[in-house]
Homo-oligomer: A and B are copies of this chain.
Amino acid sequence: MNLTELPFTIDALREAYRAGLRPEQVIAEAFRRLDAVGDAGIFIHAARENALAEAKALGEPDGRPLWGIPFAAKDNIDVAGMPTTAACPDFAYAPDADAFVVARLRAAGAICLGKTNLDQFATGLVGVRTPYPVPKNALDPAIVPGGSSSGSAVAVAHGIASFALGTDTAGSGRVPAALNSLVGLKPTLGALSATGVVPACRTLDTISIFALTVADAWTALEAAAAPDSADAYSRPIAVPALTAPPPSLRIGVPNAASLVTFGDTVQANDFRATVADLAKGGATIVEMDLEPFFAVARMLYEGAWLAERVAAVGDRLIEKPDTLHPTTRAILEPGLALTAADAFRGFYQLKDRAAVCRKALAGIDALCVPSIPAFVTLDEIAADPIGPNSRLGTYTNFANLLDLCGIAVPTGPRADGRPGGVTLLAAKGRDALCAAIAAGLEAGPLGATGWTRPDASLPDAERPTGDEIAIAVCG
């Protein structure tokens, strides 16, 4: 196979390496692809020489799970030797050390291609709130790339990086996946250490993973996830090998009134078709009123948690507001007026609303929702920088406030050719269940690559043993 046609899925690369391909060839090809795409907005810092040198230094294949796999990191995640900007040039600093997760990925053999563009300080779901060139959506230059992890998503969608790190507070790891026909894995809060990550809402942030397939996202998660004693929000979360989900699942879906698509009937029909597939696969579909979830979602930018973003940006908002993107500044400034008492009132309200949601979730194994309610064009966001952004968070904003894990997965083109996709959400720690369900649904193009989607079937879970060993008793 010609190198220019080689899929950068992890299995395809592993096979090519077994056949003698060199990592430095892969890195060179990655940057050739970047140049061919010609989108100056994807990377804020492309680490061409550094990545090539690392590739050469890898030596011979050594069995490490990510040996020679190229990845990109959102530029609010530290990589030693590269500046961290959070898309705010005045904020830039030179980190001494890799973020905990980056260090784990590199220890597993992965090679970092560089730092990708984002909505400034990870505030946004559109990808246009950056002083750098706006990355182009990999599938349709008229629609927004999605954010805040815009560059990471586009880099993977073009097959430049095998996977990329994003972060996800409001949906920044799922919305860009949906807009670029990718998998966007947002693990349970605390599964991926935040050490070396610029906070947005520290209590609600997580690193996320973009990949072309569920399997690749999961492989990256397996390497990246580990408890980190330096991050008080780190929690041990199980990341077992994926197996097929149990046959009889109860999947919650929005009822008719909750299926919000802002008039996009194609999206509504596409979602219903996916639900029909789930039912055909044996799942029990539970129609749910999502209004309690939407009520939680609204709290992310309307109350206490806005102040958490203010706490993250710090004195800059007061002392150097001109260094902020105008939209970011406009969003954050009301947070300055919130009092600590307001914050507590917000927590009480969330606690009450979360109790209602928890009750609804108790009856299901996972929740399946559209990843986005509708697409947003660059023209729409130019005309109104905030409204369409807010709408993109319809099905994502509530997840971290409710301590859910989630994974956005492409389900194949909609009737109009745009990428269809859903997100599986479940209670904390059920990451593997969500990923397994997603693997049963993933379909359609691998981003913008044109590569053939590999078989995603999962092995059956081993039958439980131990307690159920039959013992012959005689006497």
Chain A interface (Cβ < 8 Å from any Cβ of B)? 202-203, 229, 232-233, 304, 306-308, 310-311, 335-336, 338-348, 351-352, 354-355, 471-475
Chain B neighbourhood of A307, CB < 8 A: 339-341, 343-344
Chain B neighbourhood of A203, CB < 8 A: 344, 347-348
Give the number of copies in the complex: 2
* In-complex Cβ contact of A232 among B310, B355, B471 (8 A): B355
Within the complex, the shortest CB–CB distance from A309 to chain B, in Å, comes to 9
14 CB contacts below 8 A, A to B, read A203-B344, A229-B355, A304-B343, A307-B339, A307-B343, A308-B344, A311-B344, A335-B341, A336-B339, A338-B341, A340-B343, A471-B471, A471-B473, A473-B473
Within the complex, the shortest CB–CB distance from A303 to chain B, in Å, comes to 9
CA distance A203 to B306 in the complex (A): 20
Residue in B closest to A354 when the chains form the complex, CB atoms: B232
Chain B neighbourhood of A311, CB < 8 A: 340-342, 344-345
The A interface is mostly helix, strand or loop, or mixed, namely: helix
State the 7 A-B residue pairs at the shortest beta-carbon distance, nearest first: A307-B340, A338-B340, A311-B341, A340-B343, A232-B351, A343-B343, A232-B355
Chain B neighbourhood of A355, CB < 8 A: 229, 232
Q: Are A232 and B340 in contact (CB under 8 A)?
A: no
Chain B neighbourhood of A342, CB < 8 A: 311, 340
CA distance A36 to B351 in the complex (A): 47
CA distance A60 to B400 in the complex (A): 55
CA distance A445 to B335 in the complex (A): 55
Q: A311-B345, A338-B341 are in contact. List 14 more A-B contacts (CB 8 A).
A: A202-B348, A203-B347, A232-B351, A232-B352, A233-B351, A304-B343, A307-B343, A308-B341, A310-B340, A340-B342, A340-B346, A472-B473, A473-B473, A474-B475
CA distance A472 to B340 in the complex (A): 65
Residue in B closest to A202 when the chains form the complex, CB atoms: B348
CA distance A340 to B307 in the complex (A): 6
CA distance A348 to B346 in the complex (A): 17
Within the complex, the shortest CB–CB distance from A203 to chain B, in Å, comes to 7
Within the complex, the shortest CB–CB distance from A242 to chain B, in Å, comes to 31
Within the complex, the shortest CB–CB distance from A454 to chain B, in Å, comes to 41
Chain B neighbourhood of A347, CB < 8 A: 203
CA distance A134 to B47 in the complex (A): 72
Contact A202 B472, CB 8 Å, known A336-B339, A339-B339 = no
Within the complex, the shortest CB–CB distance from A212 to chain B, in Å, comes to 35
Within the complex, the shortest CB–CB distance from A290 to chain B, in Å, comes to 19
Chain B neighbourhood of A306, CB < 8 A: 340
Residue in B closest to A314 when the chains form the complex, CB atoms: B341
Chain B neighbourhood of A352, CB < 8 A: 232
Residue of A233, A335, A341, A473 contacting most chain B CB atoms (<10 Å): A341
Chain B neighbourhood of A473, CB < 8 A: 471-473
Q: Are B310 and A341 in contact (CB under 8 A)?
A: yes
Residue in B closest to A306 when the chains form the complex, CB atoms: B340
* In-complex Cβ contact of A338 among B308, B339, B354 (8 A): B339
Residue in B closest to A233 when the chains form the complex, CB atoms: B351
Chain B neighbourhood of A339, CB < 8 A: 307, 310, 336, 338-340
Within the complex, the shortest CB–CB distance from A9 to chain B, in Å, comes to 38
CA distance A304 to B311 in the complex (A): 13
Residue of A311, A343, A471 contacting most chain B CB atoms (<10 Å): A343
Residue in B closest to A472 when the chains form the complex, CB atoms: B475
Within the complex, the shortest CB–CB distance from A398 to chain B, in Å, comes to 16
CA distance A232 to B473 in the complex (A): 49
Residue of A233, A311, A335, A338 contacting most chain B CB atoms (<10 Å): A311
